[in-house]
A and B are shown apart, each in its own frame.
Chain A
Amino acid sequence: MKLRATHVLYAAALLGFVLLPQLITVKYYLHLSVLALVWVIAAQGQNLIQGYTGYVSIVQAGFMGIGAYSTTLMGIHFALPVWLTILLAPCVTALFALAAGYPSLRVKGHYFAIVTLAFNLVIFIVLMHATDLTQGEAGISGIPKPGREDGWFDFANRQVYYYFVLVIAVIMTGLAALIVRSRIGQTLIAIRQNETLVGAIGIAAWKYKLFAFVAAAMYAGLAGALYAHYQSFINPEIFGLAQSLDAILAVIIGGSGTILGPVIGAFVVVFLPEYLRFADSFRLILYGLLLVLATIFMPRGIVGVVGQLWARITGKAAS
């Protein structure tokens, strides 16, 4: 295999992520990095349905909520080990996504977005009102970390949890890349470009769309499970519409339909609001303004801008 510049870039990025905890002197930034890696997983899923298939889904945070609550409740009620509940959480989320996706994907464009938005609202309301199960707005606390106290790794240590989430984020990013390169991924891209044509050549587009939707939900479910065990606390507030919009923004800002884009975008949506705390009550106005400007002037996201710059430097067309 020929070594390309992008491979070198990926290797450098990975090395950077591995070394990051050693370079960070303030643990607060390590905490934000863990959250950002969780969002990398959620955003990679969002990218499958939004970036590659061309369907904007506004339910990613809702699916994170299903993943977070399912891992927590399975642990509480069935005394299952944390490892197992983390693995089962995406499967539970997939069941909900199947049930929601089958009717939702009968509609296209804005209508699909509205249906998924409504589904996020339904998830939020159920999490809020099913207090016997979810404890409502008060939330569930004391969610255990993976592993045992006398185990090899202390997952209560943020650095250990960072590497744990990093490994999973890398695997899930790699899996997303494999999906995109596969025949399925190429079909998803074809659907984004011309769904009518895909149907005309005899491909059942709905099956591929449903696959992308369920896969995106599984990514979100996994992200939600990792979030729950990291924070040790969940309540419905964390899985509302605003967070689903963050997942969409992560994809748009990073670079929709690229593998690296959601990684960059996830770090932006986690770190940028924190860095803007100096602006006090103007923080969210500034955040919103920056996002509007970025969307207008960088429609292909940060990856797109960097690609164009690289093309100018090397004199080659941006891929």
Chain B
Amino acid sequence: MTRHMKFTTLTAMLALAGGAVTAADKTLDIGVSDALTGGAAVYGLPQANAVQMAAEEINAAGGIKVGEDTYMLNVIAYDDKANPTEATNAVRKLIDRDGVKFILGFCCSGATGAVASFIANEDAVMLVGNAAERSITTREISNLVRTRPPADYTGAAAGTFVAQKGHKKVAVLGALDVGFYASYVDAFETELKKTGGEIITRESFGLKDRDMSPQLTKIRELQPDAILVVGYVEPAAFIYRQAIELGIDVPRYGFTSGSEEQFLRVATSEQMEGVWDLRPTELTLLSASDNGIAYHANYSEKFGIAPSPSSPYAYDQTYALKHALEAAGTVEDTAAVAAALREMPIPAEVVMQYLPVDGKMFDVNGQAYTSNGAFQWQSGNWVFVQDLPSDAAAYSAFLSTID
């Protein structure tokens, strides 16, 4: 065989081999519907980024092996602005036009509720992230799972923690228009009352409000033992800042899930010093596992900004989906994939610290549970201080009783 023939044969073999690889690797489109613009983008955009990053990691590691085929993930993301109609349109587009069967993201409860109202009739699987409204996983929707626990699950743990601190008179300032914030406060109050404590006032603010001086002035006159702030990051940061400016010198507790970077856009580190955030044990660098540390580093490098603490809910969705697809052995049979999600143990790659129920990541309602944690702002960082009491199995049983 001449050198020229050898070269031609080698080239042909390489071409064939390359072709064989290409033929075996298929693309699986997965969708993201989330708030990429508007006020809720502080939660939605990091979630969309997290899905993209997870998909790239999965692809780089060889894709998803389903039966004889290997699938590379392609993410199609649409902005739903946290608006129910926009979310419906985005998901209809993903399912009807783009042919997507697996939809992730969903940071916000209103938009998520709208999609959840029809997803049971669709040939698709919906994986909900940060949206915390309890009713999303009480509707017995077999093709829906959620990685974030409901707000009242965390609120009860927070109430116990604050009661243990000895506070009897707590003033609440929150985005109480929003259902899941209100349910957090309700559960908080129930636990506080068990030790003789009470909520002395519930002051509300709109998600776009930035001057909370009137509410804080009223709260100051009531002389509370502590204040509890529940709401989106930016208004909460203004409250923490203005509380200091108004000379309110009592412990400040919150439920916000904001990153250090997000808070420091509004308040100084000195103004934030000592603030507590009582929330699911989400990503905080000083409390993170090895997965969390790697996630933080990779996200920061890829997007040039630190990830928000709640963004791994979406990252974890992607890995949960990967394992469910592999377990189900199909990308077409969405019922099988949905069933596999409910049967799977907690994947090794996830960032959040999930508490299994009966050894599974998702309970019969499709709900996952993380541990709850008390985080405190110390010298410019959220520092994990301690776990909050979290009984996932008991809450799961309670969730199953709700119509």
| Chain A proximity of B381: nearest CB distance (Å) | 30
CB pair B179–A233 under 8 Å, yes or no, is no
CB pair A139–B92 under 8 Å, yes or no, is no
CB pair A138–B84 under 8 Å, yes or no, is no
CB pair A137–B177 under 8 Å, yes or no, is yes
Which A residue sits closest to B207, measured CB to CB? A137
Chain B residues with CB under 8 Å of A92's CB are none
| Chain B proximity of A39: nearest CB distance (Å) | 11
A129 within 8 A of B: yes
CB pair B92–A131 under 8 Å, yes or no, is no
Which A residue sits closest to B109, measured CB to CB? A138
A193 within 8 A of B: no
What 7 pairs across the A-B complex have the smallest Cβ distances? A138-B179, A28-B96, A233-B117, A141-B117, A27-B96, A28-B97, A233-B114
Chain A: residues with Cβ within 8 Å of the partner, total of 32
Binds B, one of A183-191, A276-284, A310-318: A276-284
Given A27, A138, A232, which contacts B110 in the complex, CB threshold below 8 Å? A138
Give the A-binding residues of B (Cβ under 8 A).
36-37, 78-79, 82-85, 88-89, 92-93, 95-97, 109-110, 113-114, 116-118, 121, 133, 135, 139, 177-180, 182
Complexed CA–CA distance, A283 and B139 (Å):
34
A177 within 8 A of B: no
CB pair B114–A139 under 8 Å, yes or no, is yes
| Chain B proximity of A215: nearest CB distance (Å) | 25
Complexed CA–CA distance, A311 and B92 (Å):
41
Task: State the majority secondary structure of interface residues on B.
Answer: helix
CB pair B89–A235 under 8 Å, yes or no, is no
Chain A residues with CB under 8 Å of B114's CB are 139, 141, 231, 233, 235
Which B residue sits closest to A234, measured CB to CB? B84
Chain A residues with CB under 8 Å of B96's CB are 26-29, 31
| Chain B proximity of A46: nearest CB distance (Å) | 18
CB pair B177–A128 under 8 Å, yes or no, is yes
Given A136, A137, A156, which contacts B121 in the complex, CB threshold below 8 Å? A156
Query: What is the 8 Å Cβ interface bit string for chain A, positions 30-42, against chain B (1 contact, 0 not)?
Result: 0110010000000
Count of A-B residue pairs with CB < 8 Å: 94
CB pair B110–A137 under 8 Å, yes or no, is yes
Complexed CA–CA distance, A281 and B95 (Å):
21
| Chain B proximity of A293: nearest CB distance (Å) | 21
Which A residue sits closest to B96, measured CB to CB? A28
Given A131, A156, A233, A280, which contacts B84 in the complex, CB threshold below 8 Å? A233
CB pair B92–A28 under 8 Å, yes or no, is yes
Chain A residues with CB under 8 Å of B88's CB are 31, 231, 233
Give the B-binding residues of A (Cβ under 8 A).
26-29, 31-32, 35, 128-129, 131, 135-139, 141-143, 156, 231-235, 237-238, 274, 277, 280-281, 283-284
Known: A128-B177, A281-B36. A138 touches B113 (CB 8 A): yes
Complexed CA–CA distance, A216 and B397 (Å):
49
| Chain A proximity of B2: nearest CB distance (Å) | 53
Complexed CA–CA distance, A119 and B187 (Å):
34
Complexed CA–CA distance, A142 and B37 (Å):
28
Q: Give 6 pairs: A residue, B residue, CB < 8 Å, sorted on A.
A: A28-B93, A137-B179, A138-B179, A141-B135, A232-B118, A238-B85
CB pair B179–A135 under 8 Å, yes or no, is yes
CB pair B133–A138 under 8 Å, yes or no, is yes
Complexed CA–CA distance, A288 and B79 (Å):
16
Which B residue sits closest to A274, measured CB to CB? B89
CB pair A136–B179 under 8 Å, yes or no, is yes
CB pair A235–B110 under 8 Å, yes or no, is yes
Chain B residues with CB under 8 Å of A129's CB are 177
| Chain B proximity of A91: nearest CB distance (Å) | 25
Complexed CA–CA distance, A155 and B118 (Å):
13
Chain B residues with CB under 8 Å of A31's CB are 88-89, 92, 96
| Chain B proximity of A220: nearest CB distance (Å) | 15
Complexed CA–CA distance, A142 and B182 (Å):
22
Chain A residues with CB under 8 Å of B180's CB are 138
Complexed CA–CA distance, A283 and B37 (Å):
10
**Inter-chain pairs besides A233-B84, A280-B36, A281-B37, 5 sampled, C-beta below 8 Å:** A137-B110, A233-B114, A234-B84, A238-B85, A283-B37
